[in-house]
Structure 1
Amino acid sequence: MRILILGGTSFIGRAIAEAALTDGADVTLFGRGRTGTDLFPGTPRLTGDRDTGDYAALADGGWDAVVDVSGYVPRHVGQAMDALGSRAGRYLFVSSQAVYPRTGLVPDADEDTPRRPAERGTEEIHESTYGPLKVACEDDVLARYGERATFVRPGIVAGPYDNQNAFTYWARRAARTGPVALPGRPEQPVQVADSRDLARLVVRLLADDRPGAFNVNGPEAPVTLGDLVRSCARAAGAEIELVPVPPVDVHRHFPLVRPQEQWGTFTMSSARARAAGLTATPLERTARDVLSWDRDLGEPPLRRGYTPEEEREALAGRI
């Protein structure tokens, strides 16, 4: 199978490229050429830039399937589809569960849950526009490809090379023995999918030529936030004590912590994806692999979560 990946050298795209190559696919990568230039030797690369609309490199060639990891606003997918013309068989768009409402979701809500209204009036991406922009992207792909459109909607994704740091924060923090400040409730549900499970599903959906939308979450059995942090500690062989501390506005987007009215976003059903072949890597294995990768990098500063000083102040009740 000939697969074109739009954005395949960072995190999710990298995992998909590796899974596709392992499966024997003929992969072509399209991107800006700024990251991962040493990855996948011998794999053809096309250079362009979604931000400037430079898709000229896609003017020639044909592919059985396109995997779009890089589309965030309708212009991105529209220009990519225009450049490809009729030379792509299936268009698999990596969307997000942010297409669903943030509140009011019932447990096990599935892919038929009504989505948020599409956003076409801005390209500014933030909490209130990210999901609606993805809705607009989905609508445009469906309008162009119909039954040849596939949508993969992941929630939180974790694994080596993660550039979002949500799971990485807890894996790193739980590896240190002692009290761990949790600015939320340990019983909060949480869902985290391993990037490699997501990647294998993408390859399977393409091989099966399967249309439709698929929620991607993990692990297979329901877990709480407390369970997740303790799993990370076990993966590191650490003894920890979870200490719930009050959430504060400055940590509204604390890694994996949600206000109770948004807990439904972590109870989404992935039954359709599991029936299509979604695997479930155990949390402890994901944590071990993330810790190994993170340590190899030298544990660089994270953009999310407490700094050590902030955590000391939280544990002391000062914030």
Structure 2
Amino acid sequence: MDDSATHDNESGKPIGSRQGEAKGGGAASEVRETLSFLLKLALAVFIIRSFLISPFVIPSESMLPRLLVGDYIFITKWNYGYSKHSLPWSLPLIPGRIFAGTPARGDVVVFKAPPTNDQDWIKRVIGLPGDTVQMKNGQLFLNDKPVPKQRIADFIEPVSPNTHCEPAYQDTADDGSAICRYPQYRETLPNGKSYNVLDLGQTIADDTQVFKVPEGHVFLMGDNRDNSEDSRFPQMAGGGIGFVPIGNLEGKAVVNFWSTDGSASWVLPWTWFSAARWERIGEGF
């Protein structure tokens, strides 16, 4: 029987063998295309998170009442310039600081916390280079002048897995649900920026020395004044942060894009919606 039908007349290779090569080449091409797509996607995410916008989740109560544990926010990355801390894992790809900008008093910022510079923290800018900052009997003084502080209605937070309400502040709402009730005040900085703070009573953080903010640094404080390790305390791993270099600032908080009370379970998808604090989504700064 003539076997010429099973061979390529020009190459002499079996036709079935060439078809196998085509299939193998197609599979390899698909793998290359997939890897190329994943590489491009990773690069796009890297650029967006480093230079445009990045998410951040609130891990502690140091910024109550503005931010609750379980809030997810977006920060914009271009406001204060770029340094290695703008990049994931603080990759040393940017020498020094470029396109430098100075924050405004009252900005809420995410930064690498001194002295280790390996954790992302969030606080409010209170003092700029050259400013003096002091706390006297719970009153904030900026450049020797008291920052207006007005008592307003108590801050009410429903008790949930994401709250850590001390017994002294536990209360019951009209509907019988458990709540935390905190004394709340309104502060207004010299530039007109107003925000709410909590003052839970007399603590060591209510009376401080006079701090002179050095050049290239900022003085940061948490809005939960009696429950915040911030610039009022000397730099210590896991403790105070002292003066924070402006180059450590990663970005400015701009909006809440999600918030959960901590009661959701990953294996129960419907709880993702019941745990959401819908009223907090979309809140700006």
Higher strand share: 2
TM-score by length of 1: 0.22
Structure with bigger gyration radius: 2
TM-score by length of 2: 0.24
Higher helix share: 1
